[in-house]
Amino acid sequence: MRVAPLLLLGTAEAFVAHQQDARSLLSSLTAKTICTFDGDDFAGDVGDWPYSAADLGRLDSTVDTSFYAEPRFVTHIDDGAIKALTEFYSDEFKRIDKESLDVLDLCSSWISHLPPNGEVKYGEVVGLGMNEQELAANKALTSYVVQDLNENPSLQFEDDSFDVVCNVVSVDYLTQPLDIFQEVHRILRPGGISLMSFSNRCFPTKAVAMWLQADDIGRLTIVGSYYHYSANWSEIEALDLKDTKQAPERPSPADILKNPSLGLAWMNAAAAVAQSNAGDPMYVVRGIK
């Protein structure tokens, strides 16, 4: 479809105004609650671990140190998902009533997607990951630990050490999630938050079997169950960080004939909505101690 002639047939004001609406739409991503989990949502009580070795098995069962031996200085989610996650972190961190925050980034890499220091004031920001070169390149970290959580799920920190524990697109690789979520609960301070985020990408040979068999809602439930069965969390909530926008209503042919600029304005608005809705989804399951 040719669109340039439409500008000649109508006013420029409608086009400019709609471009402004499109920019506003793209910058208004907000987290929305999908559901909250309570004890009645699960078949068992805390400690009644329901998953088998087959559920947590992987196509590639070799040790992860070999798989992650070479550094990968890449991002595993697209720019829209990164933006949504960083904005969500900023909102979450600002709600914590503390002068500075101590943060543990589990399964960390060369980038943590945290809001910059200054926008949020940090104390300690510790990264725990598999590749030392990646961790050393992460400018957000004040220190780091090289550790394979699937070989050693114990965290070398004192009780009540952190205000926030986060994990980005790696919860699907954990083969001992019960131990790890118990440890996360232990090291969080009272009222502290755990943020487990994921998208729809993964290394399929390293993700656990039940993750590969689940859809997005099923995966939210899996992570929610990790919280539930591991400890007494005060709140467990699943959130969608990329708010899906509704496409604008198309003007009638009669309206377009009267004011052809409406057609171009509608096409630009529809394209902005499609761009906003496209790309990687981004979900978080938040646990509050």
Could you identify the residue written with the tokens 């004001």? 13
* CA proximity to 1, closest of 266, 247, 274, 272: 266
User: Which residues make Cβ contacts (< 8 Å) with residue 203, sequence separation at least 6?
Assistant: 67, 173
Each residue's pLDDT tens digit, 184-206: 999 999 999 999 999 988 889 99
| Amino acid letter, 235 | E
Confidence of residue 249 (pLDDT cuts 50, 70, 90): confident
233: burial class by Cβ within 10 Å (0-12, 13-18, 19+)? buried
- Per-residue pLDDT at 274: 57
* CA proximity to 124, closest of 174, 86, 158, 88: 158
Each residue's pLDDT tens digit, 37-89: 999 999 999 999 999 999 999 999 898 887 777 777 667 778 888 999 999 99
Confidence of residue 277 (pLDDT cuts 50, 70, 90): low
Residue 254 pLDDT greater than 90, yes or no: no
Rg (CA), the chain: 22
